[in-house]
Chains A and B, each alone.
Chain A
Amino acid sequence: MPDTVQITINGTAVQVVRGCTVAAAVIQAGRSEFRRSVTGQPRGPLCGMGVCFECRLTINGQAHCRSCQILCRDGMDVSTSD
């Protein structure tokens, strides 16, 4: 089993270590802003354990996924805009 998987983040293909969460992959790709708050402020992960909802991303077309609790899978398409 290969040690890395490939996902796309906002259209760019990225190799990530197997076992890495989507949130970690996005941060590793250099992105701190995951989403915008309801009044448009930049936000990123806060709690790291799935209760704050600030790490929400659109994964494979499904909005509002808590990326800190989702492991990267080969071929995942991750987007930081709704």
Chain B
Amino acid sequence: MTERRPYDVVIVGAGIVGTAVALACAQEHLTIAIVEPDVVGGGATAAGMGHIVVMDDSEAQFSLTHYSQQLWQTIAPELPRDVEYMPCGTIWVAVDQQEMQEVRRKHEYYGSRGVTTEILDEPQLREAEAGLRPGLAGGLLVPGDSVIYSPYAARFFLQRAQAGGADLYSGVRAVKLRQHDVVLSDGRRLATTFIVNAAGTWAREFTPGLEVRKRKGHLVITDRYPGHVRHQLVELGYLKSAHSLTAESVAFNVQPRMTGQLLIGSSRQFGAESSEVDRRILCHMLQRAFQYLPGLSRMSAIRAWAGFRAATPDKLPLIGKSPAQDNVYLATGHEGLGITTSLGTARLLVDQLLNRRSQIPVEPYLPTRHMEPAHA
């Protein structure tokens, strides 16, 4: 019972990455299907902060985030209003002189790679963000960063892909990825040349042995307080938290939304399977946030929730041919950078499908990077 003529690509998962891949494929006139059992953009895409940010934990991370951010900047004028794209920039906040050294290092690093940043001293920091507590050392302003409302972005990408001929199979799940087709939970088979596993925290179900672990995070959203915070604010310790492999950590990270609501994070935990809010971690995370924005304490919190990031051992996503399955390509393992790197991931992946050279080196993201070389 095979469904119609073969697709070029079937994409498993309609999160921000899957839909970005769908769009990129459609733009290359590939025939595509995307399979999504739940709501489009309903996984980590909906749970997380829609922060588009350059990061420098490693050269490879910088390269991908920078590349992808430029793609976001290009597409920004076409984004519908409800995607709430806000080029508000990020301020990395330093609490002491030691962190200011890190600010200067980052300033150098970004500057030499074409990303404009500005060092803020204490008075300038307070002027940029009046809500920050007195006594901080300063910060680094990255004006090119932005924020979006991610589920709508995923929906936009999908609608664009559908306008380009993509088929959405919704309310069904892929149960088997085979050599020449994908079997769906309702028995239908989608014949296809390539399969893209963009299933985020569920990716392991489709590619056994995949080294992608769930990394739980918490967020709280407040009622509307327009104008209270104007940039995404992140503590410099954030990278330490994201980088570390320890069981749990929190780091200050607050995002202003176009609605005037504030999104407060962040936390990271391995080994937590339940999506229930962990009060202890929530308290820890919020109390850390008060150390930067004391005014948060009096604001009304409407909701708190937890979600899962898809994390890999070397903190870089998997973009490329699966070592285990011949016709399967992976686009997953983005940890906290899925929104940012979705567009870049999509381009790199399509480059590989089409055997085309990419604009940035792809080796660091290839799923085969974990393998030993076949011979000396």
Contacts and interface: CB of A to CB of B under 8 A. Distances in A.
Contacts of A38: 224, 259
A63 interface: yes
Contacts of B224: 38, 82
A38 B298 CA distance: 21
Interface string A43-82: 0000000000000000000111000000000000000001
B276 interface: no
A82 B259 CA distance: 13
Interface string B355-372: 000000000000000000
B101 interface: no
A82 B298 contact: no
A69 B128 CA distance: 37
B226 A82 contact: yes
A63 B225 contact: yes
Interface string B284-305: 0000000000000010100000
Contacts of A82: 224-226
B223 interface: yes
Contacts of B300: 63-64
Nearest to B298: A62
Main secondary structure of the interface of A (DSSP, over half): strand
Contacts of A64: 223, 300
A63 B223 contact: yes
A63 B298 CA distance: 9
B200 to A, nearest CB: 31
Interface string B212-239: 0000000000011110000000000000
A64 B225 CA distance: 9
A39 to B, nearest CB: 11
Contacts of A62: 298
Interface in A15-47: 38
Interface of A: 38, 62-64, 82
Given A38-B259, A62-B298, A82-B225, 8 more contacts: A38-B224, A63-B223, A63-B225, A63-B300, A64-B223, A64-B300, A82-B224, A82-B226
Q: Which 6 A-B pairs have the closest CB atoms?
A: A64-B300, A64-B223, A62-B298, A63-B225, A38-B259, A82-B226
